[in-house]
Amino acid sequence: MKSKFTSILLTLLLFSLWGQSQQLRALVKLDKKWGVINQYGDNIIPFEYHGVYNPNLEMLRGNNAKSMICKARNQFYRFRKGQRWGFMDIDGQIIIPAAYKMVWDFHDGLALYREWEKYGYLNTEGKVAIKAFADDASYFSEGWALVSSRGKWRFMNPAGEYINNKSYKAAKPFQHGLAPVKVKSKWGTINQWGSLVHNTMFYEIKDFREGMAAVYKDGKWGFISVDGKYNILPSYDEVHDFHEGLAAVLVDNHWAYIDTTGKIIIKPLYDAAHDFNDGIAIVKQKRKWGAIDRSGSKILDVEFEKLSHCKDGFIRVRQSGYWGYYRKDGSQFLKPIFENAEDFHEGLARVRIDGLWGFIKEDGTWLVEPIYDHAKNFKNGFARVKKDGGWGFIDLNGALVIETIYHNAEDFVLFK
C-alpha cells in the first residue's frame, strides 16, 4: 500500500511542477452506468448516468519536453439521463438539468442545444442565452457562430447580433480572423467585420493551417494566406496542408514539397508523401516507405512496409509484419519484434507481444512487461490498462494504482 501511494505522489509531481492544481478526473463505467473518479480512485460522481462526456480538451506541453498535459477547456461535463441531456461540474453538481434533447460542449461561454428540431444556446448559469430558432448551427469560434435558417447561413455573436446583413449558401467557422463563405458556387473569405478579404472565386477552400489555406480553382490547387494575399497560384493536382513550413504537392504524378512562397524545396520524386513532423517526413517509392529530412536527404532508406510519423525523436517501422523503432537520426533503436507498437507518450510506448500489451522506456527496457489484454497511451501521468475484462490505470512507474474493475474508462483529464 505504501509503494502504491508513493507511485501516485510521484506521478502528481508532474503537475505540481507545472503549476496546476491537481484536479484530475476520469470517466469510468460500472454496471452500464457512468461516473467519475479522481487520481486516487475515489468515486467523485456516482454511477447513475447513461452517458457522461468530457469537455473540449487541449494538449499543452508540460514541464519537460516529453510531457504533454491533457487539459479541459472548461469545467463542465455533459451528461445524459434517459433520453435527456444536461450539464454538471467536475464534482457532480448539476448546473443545467437534463431537460434538453441534445447539448454540445461549451465554446466561448455558450453551449449549443437542440429542442423541437431547432438550435439555440445556453450560458454557464443554465439560462437560455439565445432561444432555439435555427435549423442548424455551430459552436462559437473566435466570437462568432454559424446559424442557418431556410438554407441560408449567417454569422452571429453571443448577443444574437449578425456580422452583416448578408447570408451565405455555405460557410465555415472563423480561424485566424477569417471565415470561408460561399456565394452561389464560389468560395471566398470574410473578416470579423463582415468585409470580403479574398474574393469569391474558388470552388473550394480548406482550413487554414500555419497561416495558409489550400484553394481550388480551374481544376488546380494553390494557397492563400490569412493576410489576404494570393500566395501560390493554383498549379497542382493535389496538395496537403502546410506543416513545419512545408507542404506536399503533386507534380506530374509525383509528390514534392514547397515552402510558403511556392518554391520547390524537395523535388517531385515520390509516389506518396506525408506531412513533416518533428523535422521528418515519411515518403513512398515503389510500394516501400522511407523517411527524409527538410533538405530531402534520406534518414531511412525506402525499404520498409510501413512507417509512422516521427514523434519525440522516434520513428516506428514495420518489416516482415513486425514493428520496431528507429531514432530520428536514422539509427536503429529496437529491432522489429513487436506485433504492434505505438508512439512514445510521456517517455513510454505501448507494445504488443503474443497478444498481450506492455510498456517500454526510451532506453529500450521494460517498464511493464506484456501482461495486459489491452492498453492505451499515457496521458497526464496515467495509462488505461485492461485485464480479465476490466479496465484500470497504471502510473509512470508501472504500478497498478487503480484496479481493473471498470467496464469502460476514459483518460484522466486535468481541470483547474
Closest among 21, 112, 265 to 255, alpha carbons compared = 265
Distance CA 64, CA 196 (A): 43
As given in the structure block, the three cell numbers for residue 403 are 484496479
CA angle (372 as vertex; 371, 374 as ends), nearest 5: 150
pLDDT computed for residue 22 by the predictor? 61
pLDDT of residue 175: 94
Q: How confident is the model at residue 20 (pLDDT cuts 50, 70, 90)?
A: very low
Average pLDDT over residues 19-47: 90
HSE-up (13 A, CA, CB side) for residue 44: 20
Q: What is the pLDDT of residue 63?
A: 62
Lowest-pLDDT choice from 186-190, 229-233, 252-256, 380-384:
229-233
Q: Is 3 exposed, middle or buried (0-12, 13-18, 19+ CB in 10 A)?
A: exposed
pLDDT at 61 over 80: no
C-alpha 102, offset from chain centre? 23
Convert the pLDDT of each residue in 325-336 to its tens digit: 999 999 999 999
Mean pLDDT, residues 320-325 taken together: 98
Q: Is the distance from CB of 223 to CB of 259 less than 8 angstroms? A: no
Is 76 strand, coil or helix? strand
Q: Is the pLDDT of residue 197 over 50?
A: yes
pLDDT at 406 over 90: yes
pLDDT score, position 59:
80
Residues of the chain with pLDDT > 90, as a percent, come to 89
pLDDT band at 416 (very low <50, low <70, confident <90, very high): confident
Ranges of each domain in the chain = 101-167
Query: Would you say residue 7 has pLDDT above 90?
Result: no
What digits encode the pLDDT tens for the residues 74-94? Answer: 999 999 999 999 999 999 999
Architecture, CATH, for domain 101-167: Beta Barrel (2.40)
Q: Distance between CA 234 and CA 224 in Å, rounded?
A: 10
**Is the torsion defined by CA of 377, 382, 383, 384 positive or negative?**
negative
Q: What is the mean pLDDT of the chain?
A: 93
Residue 198 pLDDT > 80, yes or no? yes
pLDDT at position 3: 46
241-266: buried (b, 16+ CB within 10 Å) or exposed (e) per residue? bbbeebbbbbbeeebbbbebeeeeeb
Question: Predicted confidence band at 65 (pLDDT cuts at 50, 70, 90)?
Answer: low
pLDDT value of residue 69:
83
Q: What is the pLDDT of residue 17?
A: 41
How many whole angstroms from its chain centre is CA 170?
25
Check residue 58 and give its pLDDT: 86
State residue 15's pLDDT score: 46
Q: What are 137-156's pLDDT values in tens digits?
A: 999 999 999 999 999 999 99
What are the C-alpha distances in Å from 373 to residues 58, 83, 102, 352, 403?
29, 33, 35, 9, 14
Q: Model confidence over 274-318: pLDDT tens digits?
A: 999 999 999 999 999 999 999 999 999 999 999 999 999 999 999
Pair 45, 91: CB distance under 8 Å: yes
Taking Cα atoms as reference points, which of 381, 367, 376, 366 lies closest to residue 404?
A: 376
pLDDT band at 1 (very low <50, low <70, confident <90, very high): very low
pLDDT band at 60 (very low <50, low <70, confident <90, very high): confident
- C-alpha to C-alpha distance for 122 and 112, rounded to whole angstroms: 6
Q: Write the DSSP symbol of residue 249.
A: E
Cell 454511477 belongs to residue: 47
Contacts of range 243-247, beta carbons closer than 8 Å, 24 or more positions apart? 243/209, 243/210, 243/275, 243/276, 243/277, 244/275, 244/276, 244/277, 244/279, 244/294, 245/210, 245/276, 246/276, 246/281, 246/294, 247/212, 247/214, 247/223
